[in-house]
Structure 1
């Protein structure tokens, strides 16, 4: 177990004897405040030198206790019928720099004079600088509240007498020790319910980006709960006593103590950094805390702050895992397993829990560590393992450390599990909780608790990986077909599900090493597949998926997939339909597993469209056609059919199309062309025309603006969209043959990333119509940046490239409210016209691409590019 240096602690404060019932004078209060400040400064100094946070918290509690007792004596004297108790963390003898000082006063009779003295006592403590939380109760009242509320009863478990009538300590202990108050079974149920509710409030995972050190899953509250359960259920209130009682083994106790040391160290540093009782590791503090605790950047892909947060995630995950196992032991302590029933040759079940027939099985046959997870899949009605089995799995995993990854029998069992396909994912999830997955895949152990310091990846790498696998498993579920029809069809058409699971396991396994994680992961995947004994061709399929797992998402989100050249380049890289199907599944699962907020109907349709286009190209002997004329004719013919069904004559449509640029038929679907044409016909030449389709292509809302062209139109439209809280995911800026702007914007609601409702679409239509009709320049509103975004601002990167008679500008920068509208304003000021825009946001990172010309529709010259670069850097820097 790791320990901090044993540094000398500052001495406890020496206080003059308190004069009973004299009160505390102004000068005395000032002296006490100064004394408390001196103690805190001394403790902060020793902490910076490396002292253990637990020792410091105990020393601070002792110092504060002396001050509290001094004030109590000065205000109440040697009183009978009243006693002072420390509760909460103070009762456990621990106070962090800004912890509350929780006090309980028991009184036999709440006399007015005594209550006034207590008020004076508490007010003095506040004035001294202590944040006091207090309750004044009669013993009967205290008992009634404890009987009603398990949290009140729990607070009494930690209560420590400090001063006053010692007989009331006996009364309090009588409440705590009363077997009729919260019997063990009821108390266990209440604590587990509280745990579940608390975890639900914090996202039910220890891997949140801004975790709560105290109340989050795997936090310090979990450790306190284990002690409370140990005391109430087994008369063992500490980890040493729990080990003596057989509830913990030495390794488990050491793990819990190590994790607690880390969590307390982080909490002490956080209180000091925040200068207040902050329990959340907010982005505001993470970098500063990493520096304070000595973490340094190894390279750009292993920052000190990422190492610091990995320390937290690993500690919290250990606490969470052991907390679940120990809770199961408490359940079995109260409800011993029933009759054993055989499950195959090596296992038995006790009711709904599985166990090894021979307690030494895992030590003697390491492959059984995997086989028991397979047996759990095959045996209906099981909800888990017995507590003893969980312990033996953990012990055997540690015993065989470094050997499981090369054990042929273990690898054969692991491959057998993977071949189960979707059901294997739950087994992999459980194996990870026991540390077994990292033992079989050592590289996976390196990314355990590994975070990435950004807003895009909201889970640690191991958590993200397992969420990707769970999403893959959903594709095998018929109930998911409605939400993922294409993915479900692709999954059912592919064999060898083990290849998909392996690709999912390895796609991010090289994060944090430096270099391209896709390239490094490809090498890892190929080597592991060879150790598994997979045929070389199958190993190459897995390795290829790991190497190119980002290809489909980057192609779809950063390029124009209606361009045949884009599709051709993509299909050339993919090569065959099987790879395409597997890459599509991995891409969808990867996006969903990265953050719940990333997936939306727009990305769903975007990936489906690329998949369908690539599949059609791979099905035929030829690649996507270059014949623009044929594509235009096909689009016109299909659009004409739709228009005629809408009651618009062919001649009327052809007349309207006389002003359409050819690119309208190349870059828009027939449904879009038909809808836009119908809007123009019905407008009858009244401009500006604004049309809104609430649910158009790719699950987005389409805004179509047709009006006499003018410079600054793109900026005005984007400014109004920003005012209305819409995100632009794609913009197509076309000029007609008659000098009209024919601009198309695909939108999602900025708050929820979903298409607009009918009411919102109507609001957009009316406000945009009114604003454009009035003419003039529309300015975007000023928006404040969120607290989280402020910590992830990067210098903008701007690149220019000449292509097809235009200038392509790539803008990579940090996201912020109103970004697109701000960029559009700069483009107007620099006399740059927008002809096309691709908008992509990845967490806090924006990657936007614009097709630009000058006001004469010529590519931007070098001088204009540099002017535009300087203006953007000034606006966005």
Structure 2
């Protein structure tokens, strides 16, 4: 302790450092440290310098508040105790005092803490006796963790010894329990961030591979080995010198990012948000180049650092486990490998001698997919021998055959994922190394290119499992038709491998795929298929989302480009996997059915032969007959079916699906002339990714502004429109169909709720239905797209309006309102959203169903731009 309690508060000094002086001194320190940061000074020196500066102010405030000789001890704990203090980090203090001293010096401590609070310090504090420290540590491992790194500020050796004794393993959290609890804490923390560091807005402190991971390893070392200095682990053989050097290098990289983030944010911020990424990249000295934005360069560096921290952390966790639990007898698997405590290990201490043995490791791992992971010693040996893995073009033919065997063997996607995570795939395919950690500064691609590629491969593995997945309605049926599934895996591996090189990544990636397949000795036909899939991997997605696939001409053109059913099978599965692997929010029931419909229609077109395109009349007749059979099954007589068909637009039979036509006809059975009828049904399954997806049918007497009113009402009901078809029926009626998904999938509106909401809204004057006003979401403010408005003539005498702009809540409702204000009519709409980018197409006419003339087009363009510019302002 610092002294005796004889004089109590009466001996407390009356003068001292006031809050304003502390604030001013630390502000000057922070300004100087910011300048040193910008000049490139080592971040550890900056962290230590800030801790030293805060130490001086806290000691001065203590001496100004607490009498000399008081039986109190002051410690820095947590990160501050470690001597690492970032510009906006909390300052955690512990006062060690017995109960009598706490009561006697309560006023002095209150003055001390008040000085610091008034100075604006982000203070966290506790006042405890040694017994209270022991009790708190035993009850809460986070309290113990903070005290593990206690550093004396105003405390003698006896006080430090008392604190250490209070939290010793014998009293709280022995080594084994501490390790298990901290490992579970780490697992749960990683799970909160999706078990990946490759997030668009990663958390530098808490996210996987972040600074908290490094700190966790130090805390484990403190409890298990007795020292938080990782260098000491090298001396006892727990840690390799190269591993320590790598971990320290990446820790400094992460620390520099966090220090800079605090500077640009001007407040405590651990998440690398879009709001700060560009400014931080600039402050760190990154500069845009032809292929890579400065912000993308910075983020690629972060992702690679985080990946290395994760990789090394896994090894050290295993070694701690072995030290606590002891080595178990190895279980041989074959001549080369064995299991040690469930981890796959090489039996030869000199492993690996060449790349053949490296590939053999992944083959054995795939054949025993239940193993816990790779043994830490084998993982380290692999890392040290990566240079022995040649690029595929320099490899021997036998090694190329070994790689192909991995693709054709059990669990090939698991093998590729492991090779990627451990750095082998980047050595084998150098182009893959160039996209590792590469992000794209947009909202469409929520993963780095390499992680997106692995997500696509995982989706393909799900298709291969043979288990039906309601998110992909026919994928499990298509997969068994593949002649050589490994060709689709290769296409998935290469489809985005040329991202960031400039030029068309599909064309460049196709060339890479052609060279790779040729070098590996694939047949000319197999190599051509992989090359074609990479070159055209966006074809099906673009066709489905931007064109009217109910139009036989669209199907015929698409089928002509695909040319055969083998390509179609592969392209369908690759497209589904690609879209679903781009963002968890991107795949929905509408996209599932859209692609399934395009696949089915194209397969039929290829079966009948491209020389026999389907005529509109033929398709309408087929739809009528199939829908009639469905209605008969519902008990509807033929004469009533004929009467219902007479009330429906002919275009609906040409473009609609039979089940849709039957559903709409049945909806009209008890509808009187002039009555409005709204019907809603689930678009896909009731759970998972399809929950809440709906098809909305509106039959009503036509009125000006009806489309805008429907769109605005659906928007207010929390539904986002994916597609709209607006058809004119007989006798002045409309047949509008909307395919919608909930804006918030957690609380989708029920079909009955949508029916009541729409029918109620359309029963009154349409003029009172206006778009809802909403603030622009934070993340969209950083991705502004200059609006583009275009017009084209259509074959049916209408005008095609195309709009490209920044997406936002209520955008379609606002656009529909502008069209309504211009006294124009909407006949068809296709809504496509790609991250922050909206690409919408409308077929419109004037009030007399004529195409727009130039003056009408210009007026609409001006009104749309004014609406969008007003939102941007």
Distance 1:466 1:20, change over 3 A: farther
How much has 1:242 moved relative to structure 2? Answer: 2.3
**Equivalent residue number for residue 357 of structure 1:** 347
CA contact (8 A) 1:213 1:280 kept: yes
Distance 1:694 1:135, change over 3 A: same
How much has 1:409 moved relative to structure 2? Answer: 4.1
5 Å-filtered alignment, 1:211-290, equals 211-290=202-281
In structure 2, which of residues 427, 430, 453 is the aligned counterpart of residue 439 of structure 1?
427
**Equivalent residue number for residue 6 of structure 2:** none
CA distance in 2: counterparts of 1:638 and 1:358, whole angstroms: 68
**Equivalent residue number for residue 815 of structure 2:** 823
**Equivalent residue number for residue 833 of structure 2:** 841
CA distance in 1: counterparts of 2:428 and 2:684, whole angstroms: 48
1:705 paired to 2:704: no
CA distance in 1: counterparts of 2:15 and 2:41, whole angstroms: 34
CA distance in 1: counterparts of 2:727 and 2:249, whole angstroms: 63
Instruction: Note the alpha carbon deviations across 1:628-649, whole angstroms, 9 max, x for none.
Output: 2222222222333333443444
5 Å-filtered alignment, 1:258-657, equals 258-299=249-290, 302-362=292-352, 364-379=353-368, 381-398=370-387, 400=389, 406-420=395-409, 423-480=411-468, 484=472, 486-622=474-610, 625-657=613-645
Cα RMSD for the two superposed structures: 2.2
How much has 1:344 moved relative to structure 2? Answer: 2.7
How much has 1:729 moved relative to structure 2? Answer: 1.4
SS of match in other structure, 1:479: coil
Distance 1:336 1:784, change over 3 A: same
CA distance in 2: counterparts of 1:478 and 1:248, whole angstroms: 44
**Equivalent residue number for residue 83 of structure 1:** 73
**Equivalent residue number for residue 112 of structure 2:** 121
**Equivalent residue number for residue 730 of structure 1:** 723
Distance 1:737 1:148, change over 3 A: closer
CA distance in 2: counterparts of 1:289 and 1:35, whole angstroms: 26
SS of match in other structure, 1:683: coil
**Equivalent residue number for residue 135 of structure 2:** 144
How much has 1:399 moved relative to structure 2? Answer: 5.3
How much has 1:182 moved relative to structure 2? Answer: 2.5
In structure 1, which of residues 796, 803, 828 is the aligned counterpart of residue 787 of structure 2?
796
CA contact (8 A) 2:315 2:375 kept: no
CA distance in 1: counterparts of 2:332 and 2:359, whole angstroms: 18
How much has 1:377 moved relative to structure 2? Answer: 2.2
**Equivalent residue number for residue 654 of structure 2:** 666
CA contact (8 A) 1:405 1:440 kept: no
Structure 2 residue runs of 5 or longer lacking an equivalent are 1-9
CA contact (8 A) 1:366 1:404 kept: no
CA distance in 1: counterparts of 2:693 and 2:552, whole angstroms: 22
Distance 1:85 1:325, change over 3 A: same
1:874 paired to 2:862: no
SS of match in other structure, 1:569: helix
**Equivalent residue number for residue 711 of structure 2:** 718
Distance 1:587 1:722, change over 3 A: same
SS of match in other structure, 2:727: strand
CA contact (8 A) 1:405 1:441 kept: no
CA distance in 2: counterparts of 1:704 and 1:190, whole angstroms: 55
How much has 1:822 moved relative to structure 2? Answer: 0.3
CA distance in 2: counterparts of 1:72 and 1:46, whole angstroms: 29
CA distance in 2: counterparts of 1:713 and 1:764, whole angstroms: 16
CA distance in 2: counterparts of 1:118 and 1:77, whole angstroms: 10
Distance 1:409 1:246, change over 3 A: farther
Instruction: Note the alpha carbon deviations across 1:330-388, whole angstroms, 9 max, x for none.
Output: 112223433344333322333522222222231x2221111111112224752222211
Distance 1:321 1:792, change over 3 A: same
SS of match in other structure, 1:634: helix
1:202 paired to 2:193: yes
**Equivalent residue number for residue 785 of structure 1:** 776
CA distance in 1: counterparts of 2:760 and 2:478, whole angstroms: 47
SS of match in other structure, 2:73: strand
CA distance in 2: counterparts of 1:407 and 1:22, whole angstroms: 81
**Equivalent residue number for residue 4 of structure 2:** none
SS of match in other structure, 2:385: helix
Instruction: Note the alpha carbon deviations across 1:786-841, whole angstroms, 9 max, x for none.
Output: 11122222111222211211111121111101011000011112232111011111
Instruction: Note the alpha carbon deviations across 1:528-547, whole angstroms, 9 max, x for none.
Output: 11222222221111111111
CA distance in 1: counterparts of 2:574 and 2:44, whole angstroms: 45
CA contact (8 A) 1:833 1:854 kept: yes
Please give the TM-score of this superposition, normalised by the length of structure 1: 0.93
SS of match in other structure, 1:707: strand
How much has 1:57 moved relative to structure 2? Answer: 1.1
Structure 1 residue runs of 5 or longer lacking an equivalent are 1-18
CA distance in 1: counterparts of 2:477 and 2:845, whole angstroms: 44
Distance 1:396 1:480, change over 3 A: farther
How much has 1:326 moved relative to structure 2? Answer: 1.2
Mean alpha-carbon deviation: is it higher for 96-105 or for 430-439? 430-439
Instruction: Note the alpha carbon deviations across 1:689-710, whole angstroms, 9 max, x for none.
Output: 3333344899942322222222
CA distance in 1: counterparts of 2:238 and 2:182, whole angstroms: 17
CA distance in 1: counterparts of 2:127 and 2:456, whole angstroms: 52
Distance 1:256 1:480, change over 3 A: farther
CA distance in 1: counterparts of 2:69 and 2:396, whole angstroms: 71
**Equivalent residue number for residue 157 of structure 1:** 148
In structure 2, which of residues 806, 812, 815 is the aligned counterpart of residue 814 of structure 1?
806
CA distance in 1: counterparts of 2:591 and 2:489, whole angstroms: 23
